[in-house]
A and B are shown apart, each in its own frame.
Chain A
Amino acid sequence: MVDEETIRVVRCGGSELNFRRAVFSADSKYIFCVSGDFVKVYSTVTEECVHILHGHRNLVTGIQLNPNNHLQLYSCSLDGTIKLWDYIDGILIKTFIVGCKLHALFTVAQAEDSVFAIVNKEKPDIFQLVSVKLPKSSSQEVEAKELSFVLDYINQSPKCIAFGNEGVYVAAVREFYLSVYFFKKKTTSRFTLSSSRNKKHAKNNFTCVACHPTEDCIASGHMDGKIRLWRNFYDDKKYTYTCLHWHHDMVMDLAFSVTGTSLLSGGCESVLVEWRDATEKNKEFLPRLGATIEHISVSPAGDLFCTSHSDNKIIIIHRNLEASAVIQGLVKDRSIFTGLMIDPRTKALVLNGKPGHLQFYSLQSDKQLYNLDIIQQEYINDYGLIQIELTKAAFGCFGNWLATVEQRQEKETELELQMKLWMYNKKTQGFILNTKINMPHEDCITALCFCNAEKSEQPTLVTASKDGYFKVWILTDDSDIYKKAVGWTCDFVGSYHKYQATNCCFSEDGSLLAVSFEEIVTIWDSVTWELKCTFCQRAGKIRHLCFGRLTCSKYLLGATENGILCCWNLLSCALEWNAKLNVRVMEPDPNSENIAAISQSSVGSDLFVFKPSEPRPLYIQKGISREEVQWGVFVPRDVPESFTSEAYQWLNRSQFYFLTKSQVTAPLKKGSHFLLAEESLPTTPFYFILGKHRQHQDEKLNETLENELVQLPLTENIPAVSELLHTPAHVLPSAAFLCSMFVNSLLLSKETKSAKEIPEDVDMEEEKESEDSDEENDFIEKVQDTNNTGLGEDIIHQLSKSEEKELRKFRKIDYSWIAAL
Chain B
Amino acid sequence: MAGYKPVAIQTYPILGEKITQDTLYWNNYKTPVQIKEFGAVSKVDFSPQPPYNYAVTASSRIHIYGRYSQEPIKTFSRFKYTAYCATFRQDGRLLVAGSEDGGVQLFDISGRAPLRQFEGHTKAVHTVDFTADKYHVVSGADDYTVKLWDIPNSKEILTFKEHSDYVRCGCASKLNPDLFITGSYDHTVKMFDARTNTSVLSVEHGQPVESVLLFPSGGLLVSAGGRYVKVWDMLKGGQLLVSLKNHHKTVTCLCLSSSGQRLLSGSLDRKVKVYSTTSYKVVHSFDYAASILSLALAHEDETIVVGMTNGILSVKHRKSEAKKESIPRRRRPAYRTFIKGKNYMKQRDDILINRPAKKHLELYDRDLKHFRISKALDRVLDPTCTIKTPEITVSIIKELNRRGVLANALAGRDEKEISHVLNFLIRHLSQPRFAPVLINAAEIIIDIYLPVIGQSPVVDKKFLLLQGLVEKEIDYQRELLETLGMMDMLFATMRRKEGTSVLEHTSDGFPENKKIES
A→B interface (CB under 8 Å): 288-290, 315, 323, 326, 373, 376-378, 380, 382, 384-386, 388, 408, 413-414, 438, 442, 469, 480-482, 493-496, 530-531
Contact = CB atoms under 8 A, between A and B. Distances in A.
Given A323-B1, A414-B440, A481-B281, A380 B402 contact: yes
A415 to B, nearest CB: 9
Nearest to B3: A288
Given A378-B4, A408-B402, 13 more contacts: A288-B1, A377-B399, A378-B5, A380-B402, A380-B403, A380-B404, A384-B404, A385-B403, A442-B506, A469-B503, A481-B276, A531-B499, A531-B500
A480 B8 contact: no
B21 interface: yes
A417 to B, nearest CB: 12
A408 B499 CA distance: 34
B403 A377 contact: no
A426 B511 CA distance: 47
A215 B278 CA distance: 80
Contact of A482 (B8, B21, B440): B21
Contacts of B399: 377
B1 A493 contact: no
Most buried by A among B2, B278, B511: B2
Nearest to A286: B1
Contacts of B8: 376-377
A290 B1 contact: yes
B402 A481 contact: no
Contact of A377 (B5, B499, B501): B5
Contacts of A481: 276, 278-279, 281, 283
B497 to A, nearest CB: 10
A495 B404 contact: no
A419 to B, nearest CB: 14
B279 A438 contact: no
Contacts of B281: 480-481
Contact of A376 (B5, B278, B279): B5
12 contacts: A373-B5, A377-B7, A380-B404, A382-B404, A386-B402, A408-B402, A438-B10, A480-B281, A481-B279, A481-B281, A482-B20, A493-B503
B368 interface: yes
Contact of B436 (A388, A414, A531): A414
Contacts of A388: 402
Contacts of B279: 481
A386 B406 CA distance: 14
Contacts of B18: 480
A230 B500 CA distance: 78
Nearest to B4: A378
A496 B501 CA distance: 7
A62 to B, nearest CB: 28
A474 B20 CA distance: 25
Interface of B is mostly: loop
A413 B511 contact: yes
Nearest to B283: A481
Given A376-B8, A378-B7, A378-B368, A494 B501 contact: yes
Given A442-B506, A480-B20, A481-B281, A289 B403 contact: no
Contacts of B1: 288-290, 315, 323, 326
Nearest to A414: B436
Nearest to A496: B501
A482 B503 CA distance: 35
B33 to A, nearest CB: 31
A665 to B, nearest CB: 28
Contacts of B506: 442
A438 B436 CA distance: 13
B49 to A, nearest CB: 32
A438 B368 CA distance: 24
A120 to B, nearest CB: 38
A493 B503 CA distance: 7
Contacts of B2: 288, 290, 373
Interface string B1-36: 111111110100000001011000000000000000
Interface string B393-432: 0000001001110000000000000000000000000000
A731 to B, nearest CB: 14
A438 B8 CA distance: 13
A371 B232 CA distance: 53
Interface in B256-306: 276, 278-279, 281, 283
Contacts of A323: 1
Nearest to B11: A436
A380 B403 CA distance: 6
Nearest to A436: B11
B513 to A, nearest CB: 13
Contacts of A494: 501
A46 to B, nearest CB: 18
B96 to A, nearest CB: 37
Contacts of A480: 18, 20, 281
B272 to A, nearest CB: 18
A378 B365 CA distance: 11
Nearest to A382: B404
A522 to B, nearest CB: 9
A318 to B, nearest CB: 14
Contacts of A413: 511
A122 to B, nearest CB: 46
Nearest to A442: B506
Nearest to A524: B499
B283 A382 contact: no
Nearest to B281: A481
Contacts of A382: 403-404
B91 to A, nearest CB: 36
A438 B7 CA distance: 16
Most buried by A among B7, B440, B500, B501: B501
B31 to A, nearest CB: 27
A174 B399 CA distance: 40
Contacts of B283: 481
B231 to A, nearest CB: 16
A274 to B, nearest CB: 17
Contacts of B7: 377-378
A530 B402 contact: no
List the 7 closest pairs (A to B, CB-CB), nearest first. Answer: A531-B499, A495-B501, A481-B279, A378-B5, A481-B276, A380-B403, A385-B404
Most buried by B among A290, A414, A496: A414
A364 to B, nearest CB: 26
Contacts of B440: 414
Contacts of B402: 377, 380, 385-386, 388, 408
